[in-house]
Structure 1
Amino acid sequence: MRSVFSSLFLLLALLYLPSEGQAQQRPASAAPAPADQLKPRKLTRKERKELARRAELDAAGRQRQLTERDREMSEAFFVDGVKYVLLEDYNKALERLLKAYALNPTNAAISYKIAETNLLSGNLKDATNFAQAAVRLDPKNAYYYLLLAQAYASQKQYDQATKVYAQLIQDVPDSGYYLFNLADLYLAQGKLDDALATLERAEKQFGPLDEVSFKKQQIYLKQNNLDKALKEGEVLIAANPDEIRYVLAQAEMYAANNRLPDAVRVAEQALRTDPENPQARMILADVYRQQGNTTESEKQIKRAFESPGLDIDDKVRVLVDYIKQLPNPKIEQTALDLAAITVRVHPKEAKAYSVAGDIQTLTNRKEQARNTYLQAIRLDNSRYQIWQQVVLIDAELNQTDSLLRHSEKALELFPNQAPLWFYNGVGYILAKQPAKGVKALEYGRKLATDNPELLAQFDTQLGDAYHELKEYSKSDAAYEAALTFDANNAQALNNYSYFLSMRGEKLDRAKEMSGKLVKQFPDNDTYLDTYAWVLYKQKDYAGARQYLEKALLTSKDATVIEHYGDVLYQLGDKDKAYAEWQRAKQIGGASSLIDRKIKDRKLYE
């Protein structure tokens, strides 16, 4: 079976000089339009006047003989016009070409070039008119028909374009191969039956053709005629057993229509021709998955991923499908394995590391994910989302040095990204440099004015930072701003109430906020400790003891234990208070007063 490849292109001659005989050729008469296409309409006076003027010019052009000088000038204007077309200066091109046309209106090549220039510059109506003129003047030139069809198609006048192709095939000798273009035009309009009939005409003229069979198969699929589509596919495979694309297309068709045994049969046929074909293995992986054969499915997809022939973008698409299903213990290891294969097979592709990092993040392999993201950045540092993932993981791991280093590097590239300033500010707070933290947070806050949720996060951190700087009014204002957006902001509620209790200020407000948290999270030892300390400051020692003892059921924090010792001291149980202070010191992390408390067996505040 032979293959025919046809294409539609326009004539872009650098120089087209019609012969003298052509220059004097009289225009052919236009064929009358069928009666059912005529739409009588009364012409306006202006339209009648314009038609009369054009008729006069046309008659004058037919009657007079071109002088040698006129012919030379017309050719010169034409050559100059073509030059400007190539330079894409369409205004100058049209100016020259219209001068050539005025001197020689019966030259088809001039009308064609004017039509082409108008088409390129977007003047579709003029392009159509001059292309029609070119066809009338030279009805045997296929390129003129093609340009006219293109002008109609550009205006979405597909029926007119179709008629032009039909006329071209009928009137121009040896133009049957334009049947393929006509079929494509029908397909573009969704006229599947007409497209099919046109392809069958092409088969009758040229014999069996692979491309025709392939297009017919696609049409049958759109018509939901699966049997004919599959039959056409089997014919293609029988005629081209070594043409792997036909075999793969057939296997995919079987798989998509739940003909799974046939899909396996045809995919394995492809592998006999190309044992490592990744597309065939992907088809098999999908079929085995549908059949519930997980082991064989994973085996096939991993072999497909091992092939450099499977494009990195195809692999990323598959991995993204896995990402959408995570976290899921059933597919977690397969996703990790495929990500590792992708990185190994495509070691210079940043996107391979990026998607692998996403999978590692979702499977709670944070440090590994950060290293993978950093590898992606080494290959391509232009992806803001990857930088954001890196600093987020730094913050989650509480690795202050890394957080500061990575956020500073990211800000060099993306200085207008508010989240990076947020993480940078958090880094400085964690590094006990609250002044630098405030500077970063205040700058980033100005960039986040269109994101209320992010603003609330900035305000929460600013509350912490200003407290460290002992700028309590600013700290309180920042927390209040955060709670205005989200009254349930746990970090703001806890820290604000705790700092108020430490200062002994607004204790009723502190009790309201911390009590709200304890009600929502009755087993959270941090919130229980905060509420207990507010009660302590209000001299409700019994209440404080109750909540601290509940917190100590789960907490081993030295601060909580020290607080418990302070409460016991206030309740008169000094020996037990002393024992709790010793325990807090042994654990580490108690207040700076712990040594004096133990030495003097006395409460200091």
Structure 2
Amino acid sequence: MSRTGAVFLFLLGLLVAAPVHAQQRTPQPGATPSAGKPEKSAKPKKLSRKERRALAQRADIESMQMQKRPLSEKDRELSEAFFVDGLRYLMLEDYNKALERLLKAYALNPANAAINYKIAETNLLSGNLSDATNFAQTAVKLDPKNAYYYLLLAQIYSSQKQYDQAIKVYTTLIKDVPDSGNYLFNLADLYMAQGKLNEALSTFEQAEKKFGPIDEVSFKKQQIYLKQNNLDKALQEGEALIAANPDEIRYVLAQAQMYAANSRFPDAIRVAQQALQQDPSNPQARMILADVYRQQNNPQESQKQIKLAFESPGLDIDSKVRILIDYIKQLPNPALNQPALELAEITTRTHPKEAKAFSVAGDIQTITDNKPAARTSYLKALQLDNSKFQIWQQVVLIDAELNQVDSLLLHTDQALELFPNQASLWFYNGVAYMLKKQPTKGVKALEYGRKLATDNPELLAQFDTQLGDAYHELKDFAKSDAAYEAALVFDANNAQALNNYSYYLSLRGEKLDKAKEMAGKLVKQNPDNDTYLDTYGWVLYRLKDYTGARQQFELALKTTKDATVIEHYGDVLYQLGERDKALAEWQRAQKLGGASPLIDRKIKDKKLYE
């Protein structure tokens, strides 16, 4: 058995033995006991609760007194040495060694309150709440006038969510320990944490009677009244706070907010303007006014107040970002687009060194379809902090959407230096090289990125589609076809793969039936897309179905002025014998620009070349 266990068994034995010893009868002088005859005893008197408690306390004290024994000077010095050593390890947060030393001190001097207290504290810090409770209770019993012992015991009970026990400890502390009235505030807070609002309110009132009016107490009483839905009392307490502290603007703002939250709009405006008289640039007062005016359906005045709040140096960047994110959740919205853009501009102007200001401005500009401005904002954010991959991604997406190939190549190269394992950056880098007519570099980037996208089937299919285009440009048709096939395995309706695969097959004059099937499927799904109609028409042309091809080209020409489509239409007219019309279409295609290199010969010779 451990030493600690032996000590506890010894204590338990004493506690059990003590009452028996106390009940032994001692013969009174002159009394003659009756031999062999039991003495008739009077019926025991029933004890009151107070008397039972007093007896229990006396038994505890007697038990502890029995633990006390005279210490030799050597034992006393040894106990103190162990105690000091334990405190040293406790300060170093080495709880195992601290507890080992303190228990050695306890074995020599178990009735020492300070030793019990420190053992309890060490157990609390190390998570042994059961032992912490026992030793803290003993410390309190040994020295019932030491407030710190009560506080530790209350803390231990609270850690175990035994709030009723903690409340009892505070109550006893306040009643039994002199000059402990200040702990009324702790007791009231404990009541509040439990939701015992009436008890908390009563305790705060006790504290006010003892110490006089205290601002923080009034503020907490106000919160209790609000939780009790006693608005009048809460407002009354708030007005009293303001009257007692006319220069304390936080109470004015809290009162204005309370009026606003309860739709007391005239009072909210009055008190918020009172705050502005004290501090004309106070952003919280402006935001309260903005909310009130919004609820009163006065958007112009509401926006004016928000802008004034954003102009104030007192409104920090994080608060502004939170407000702007609330706007983002409601965008796009014709009524909010411009106000959001204006607030974003103020934010970047008043916080020119904050990356997050430009980032959130870029988000708002993106959603409201101001893409060039958004890219400028994102790039400014990256100048201040280039560590956010999401911002690089936004820049790259805008480059691609705006078809600004040089920017796309530049920004993907820059981003890949920081994030070489991001597959999407390799994808757009490959696309940029393809658009720059550098298919070899495009293939290299796409193949590398594809290896990083194996856990993302959708992105993998996009890589395969682009590789189909890239390998076609390199005239590696086997790899091109394989890439398209892989993309279509993931998504049989992949429009880009269906269109480009079928078109390139038609150019090569290979697998034309397969090309017809794919192009026909695409047109069926997208009957008004002129690009897809042109592809289907060209596949039919290569199959010598000139009538069918003409029909597709004429449908396409309803919505496009693309020179390639017009040239194709001229070709099919030529095949149908309408050569004058064919020449006119070729000439129209030539004038628009973008037709095939054969267009000049076709016009000069008035003859079809393929």
Residue 305 of structure 2: aligned partner: 300
Shift in alpha-carbon separation, 1:505–1:194, aligned structure 2, 3 A: farther
Whether the aligned pair in 1 keeps the contact of 2:106 and 2:112 (CA below 8 Å) is: yes
CA separation in 2, counterparts of 1:218 and 1:445?
59
Per-residue CA deviation, residues 166-212 of structure 1 (Å, 9 max, x unaligned), is: 12111211111111111211222222222222212212222222111
Residue 23 of structure 2: aligned partner: none
TM-score normalized by structure 2? 0.87
Per-residue CA deviation, residues 327-352 of structure 1 (Å, 9 max, x unaligned), is: 11211111111000001111111111
Residue 211 of structure 2: aligned partner: 206
Residue 517 of structure 1: aligned partner: 522
Give the counterpart letter for 1:314 in structure 2: S
Q: Which has the higher contact order (CA 8 A, sep 6+)?
A: 1
Whether the aligned pair in 2 keeps the contact of 1:135 and 1:144 (CA below 8 Å) is: yes
Residue 531 of structure 2: aligned partner: 526
Residue 552 of structure 1: aligned partner: 557
Matches within 5 A, 1:535-574: 535-574=540-579
Give the counterpart letter for 2:317 in structure 1: I
Equivalent position SS for 1:329:
coil
Matches within 5 A, 1:161-176: 161-176=166-181
CA separation in 1, counterparts of 2:394 and 2:104?
64
CA separation in 2, counterparts of 1:192 and 1:118?
32
Residue 51 of structure 1: aligned partner: 12
Per-residue CA deviation, residues 23-73 of structure 1 (Å, 9 max, x unaligned), is: xxxxxxxxxxxxxxxxxxxxxxx99788338989x7797342112222222
CA separation in 1, counterparts of 2:194 and 2:514?
70
TM-score normalized by structure 1? 0.88
The range that moved more, 60-69 or 381-390, is 60-69
Matches within 5 A, 1:202-351: 202-351=207-356
CA separation in 1, counterparts of 2:390 and 2:92?
42
Shift in alpha-carbon separation, 1:488–1:224, aligned structure 2, 3 A: farther
Give the counterpart letter for 2:499 in structure 1: N
Shift in alpha-carbon separation, 1:181–1:354, aligned structure 2, 3 A: same
Equivalent position SS for 2:568:
helix
Give the counterpart letter for 1:420 in structure 2: L
Whether the aligned pair in 2 keeps the contact of 1:61 and 1:105 (CA below 8 Å) is: no
Give the counterpart letter for 2:93 in structure 1: E
Matches within 5 A, 1:6-405: 51-52=12-13, 62-405=67-410
How far 1:354 sits from its partner (Å)? Answer: 0.5
CA separation in 1, counterparts of 2:547 and 2:388?
56
Whether the aligned pair in 2 keeps the contact of 1:61 and 1:106 (CA below 8 Å) is: no
CA separation in 2, counterparts of 1:429 and 1:53?
92
Give the counterpart letter for 1:254 in structure 2: Y
Query: Aligned pair 1:583/2:603, yes or no?
Result: no
Shift in alpha-carbon separation, 1:373–1:105, aligned structure 2, 3 A: same
Whether the aligned pair in 1 keeps the contact of 2:64 and 2:111 (CA below 8 Å) is: no
Give the counterpart letter for 1:294 in structure 2: P
Whether the aligned pair in 1 keeps the contact of 2:464 and 2:487 (CA below 8 Å) is: yes
Shift in alpha-carbon separation, 1:175–1:299, aligned structure 2, 3 A: same
Equivalent position SS for 1:330:
coil
CA separation in 2, counterparts of 1:49 and 1:565?
111
Structure whose CA Rg is larger: 2
Residue 421 of structure 2: aligned partner: 416
CA separation in 2, counterparts of 1:438 and 1:421?
10
Query: Aligned pair 1:457/2:418, yes or no?
Result: no
How far 1:590 sits from its partner (Å)? Answer: 1.9
CA separation in 2, counterparts of 1:219 and 1:314?
27
CA separation in 1, counterparts of 2:402 and 2:415?
18
Residue 15 of structure 1: aligned partner: none
Give the counterpart letter for 2:123 in structure 1: N
How far 1:430 sits from its partner (Å)? Answer: 1.7
Whether the aligned pair in 2 keeps the contact of 1:518 and 1:524 (CA below 8 Å) is: yes
Give the counterpart letter for 2:173 in structure 1: L
Q: Which runs of 5+ in 2 are unaligned?
A: 1-6, 18-62
After superposing on structure 2, the runs of 4+ consecutive aligned residues of structure 1 that deviate more than 6 Å are 46-50, 53-56, 58-61
Whether the aligned pair in 2 keeps the contact of 1:61 and 1:104 (CA below 8 Å) is: no
Whether the aligned pair in 1 keeps the contact of 2:464 and 2:483 (CA below 8 Å) is: yes
Shift in alpha-carbon separation, 1:210–1:447, aligned structure 2, 3 A: same
CA separation in 2, counterparts of 1:158 and 1:440?
64
Query: Aligned pair 1:600/2:605, yes or no?
Result: yes
CA separation in 1, counterparts of 2:164 and 2:67?
32
Whether the aligned pair in 2 keeps the contact of 1:448 and 1:455 (CA below 8 Å) is: yes
Per-residue CA deviation, residues 60-116 of structure 1 (Å, 9 max, x unaligned), is: 973421122222222222222222222221111111221122222222222222221
Query: Aligned pair 1:475/2:436, yes or no?
Result: no
Give the counterpart letter for 2:445 in structure 1: A
Whether the aligned pair in 2 keeps the contact of 1:366 and 1:393 (CA below 8 Å) is: yes
Whether the aligned pair in 2 keeps the contact of 1:111 and 1:133 (CA below 8 Å) is: yes
Shift in alpha-carbon separation, 1:197–1:482, aligned structure 2, 3 A: farther
How far 1:413 sits from its partner (Å)? Answer: 2.0
CA separation in 2, counterparts of 1:504 and 1:178?
93
CA separation in 1, counterparts of 2:461 and 2:206?
70
The range that moved more, 63-72 or 473-482, is 473-482
Shift in alpha-carbon separation, 1:120–1:540, aligned structure 2, 3 A: same
* Structural RMSD (CA): 2.2
CA separation in 2, counterparts of 1:288 and 1:152?
49
Shift in alpha-carbon separation, 1:354–1:449, aligned structure 2, 3 A: same
Query: Aligned pair 1:487/2:448, yes or no?
Result: no
Shift in alpha-carbon separation, 1:169–1:442, aligned structure 2, 3 A: farther
Q: Which runs of 5+ in 1 are unaligned?
A: 1-45
Give the counterpart letter for 1:332 in structure 2: N
How far 1:548 sits from its partner (Å)? Answer: 1.2
Per-residue CA deviation, residues 285-336 of structure 1 (Å, 9 max, x unaligned), is: 1111111111111111100000110121111111111111211121111111
